[in-house]
Amino acid sequence: MKINNYHKVNTLDEAYALLTSDKSSSIIAGGAWLKFSKKTIENAIDLSNLNLDQIVETKEAFEIGCMTTLRQVEVNKSLMTFCNGVITKSINEIMGVQIRNIATIGGTVSGKYGFSDLITPLLVLDTKLQFYKNGIITLEEFLNSKDFKNDILVKIIISKKIGKAKFISMKKTSNDFSVINTAVFKNKEECKIAVGARPNGALLAIKAMEFLDNNKTYSEEVINECASIASKEIPFGSNIRGSKEYRIELCRVLIKRGLQEVLK
Ligand SMILES: Cc1cc2nc3c(=O)[nH]c(=O)nc-3n(C[C@H](O)[C@H](O)[C@H](O)COP(=O)(O)OP(=O)(O)OC[C@H]3O[C@@H](n4cnc5c(N)ncnc54)[C@H](O)[C@@H]3O)c2cc1C
């Protein structure tokens, strides 16, 4: 990565003007992932003066500024108990504390990384994103769209819905990327199931979710069938971490374990 001009901005207006002034301008958050890039950045835009590294807890939600580090999120006491600590659990498996002290939640979500361990649980929670120009949209809408490249992610808003959740990932070694990761959420109203690191980005297993919603009791057979539906409906691929076939099998097993946990 080569940076021609480094700007520590004082307002989001200033950041947006710089971002849209040149195609090779880029927001720089922790810079942990960007530094691997070979590109030349005309304007690197640093948001660290803007007080966007806070977690604000209201009655309804957690509002997490884009520059909040993964470590800040991981050690937040309220998040440790929210939905069985599903967010905390997904983060504390990412590399070591040194990386988590640098990488931010804004850089993680904006990057839409296929390997992301955090996006998967965020997808089963009610997660909304506040952009500077486009306002508030759902995480799902963002993941399915290519329209937000020239906008600034300001906040990640997680509604405090009550329910049980479970994140499970399969890593060959603790510092590697996940071969696959899964998250499930259940309360009286709904069930949500997401699968990430397929190796592409996280998706909701809609048919499996509907199947579970249509069942009143959660027997072993129902759980097995739900996990099997998820493993068949989610598209998987192969890479150096695992084959498509291996991921299909892991998906079935991890979703089953997740459901057993949240349906207890
Ligand atoms: C060695 C290493 C190993 C890793 N292993 C894992 C792993 O196992 N699992 C996992 O889930 N993650 C892993 N990660 C990824 C990490 O968790 C972060 O997701 C990643 O580093 C991006 O965060 P950042 O703050 O460094 O973003 P940056 O690198 O600064 O930025 C990433 C991208 O997001 C854009 N961006 C940043 N902030 C904003 C914003 N506010 N608005 C709009 N665009 C923005 C940038 O322009 C850039 O394109 C790893 C990272 C590293 C460096």
Handedness of CA 229, 235, 238, 239 (dihedral sign): negative
> How far away, in angstroms, is 105 Cα from ligand 1 center?
8
Give me the pLDDT at residue 149, please.
84
pLDDT band for 4, please (50, 70, 90 cuts): very high
Rounded distance from Cα 110 to ligand 1 centre (Å): 8
Number of the ligand 1 atom closest to the C-alpha atom of 30: 25
Per-residue pLDDT reduced to its tens digit, 14-32: 999 999 999 999 999 999 9
Residue 147 has pLDDT above 90, yes or no: no
For the chain, what are the domain ranges? Answer: 2-46, 55-159, 164-262
For residue 224, name the pLDDT band (cuts at 50, 70, 90): very high
Contact 187, 164 (CB under 8 A): yes
Task: Give residue 212's pLDDT.
Answer: 96
Q: Which fold is adopted by the domain 55-159?
A: 3.30.465
**Mean pLDDT for all residues in the chain:** 97
Across 73-99, average pLDDT:
97
Residue 148 has pLDDT above 90, yes or no: no
pLDDT at 16: 98
The angle that helices 206-213 and 220-233 make with each other, rounded to 10 degrees, is 160
Pocket perturbation via mutation, ligand 1, pick of 26, 27, 130 by most ligand atoms within 8 A of CB = 27
Give CA–CA dist 9/128, Å, rounded: 25
Mean pLDDT of 226-236: 98
pLDDT reading at 216 higher than 90: no
**Among the atoms of ligand 1, which is closest to the Cα of residue 104?**
25
Q: Do 149 and 142 meet the contact criterion of CB atoms below 8 Å apart? A: no
- Whether the pTM exceeds 0.85: the reply is yes
Structure confidence by residue, pLDDT tens digits, 173-213: 989 999 999 999 999 999 999 999 999 999 999 999 999 99
The pLDDT confidence band at residue 253, using thresholds 50, 70 and 90, is very high
State how far the Cα of 74 lies from the Cα of 200, in Å rounded to an integer: 24
* pLDDT surpassing 90 at residue 68: yes
pLDDT at 13: 98
Ligand 1 centroid distance, CA of 258 (Å): 27
The answer as to CATH 3.30.390.50 being correct for domain 164-262 is: yes
Residue 185's nearest CA partner among 87, 117, 108, 113 is 87
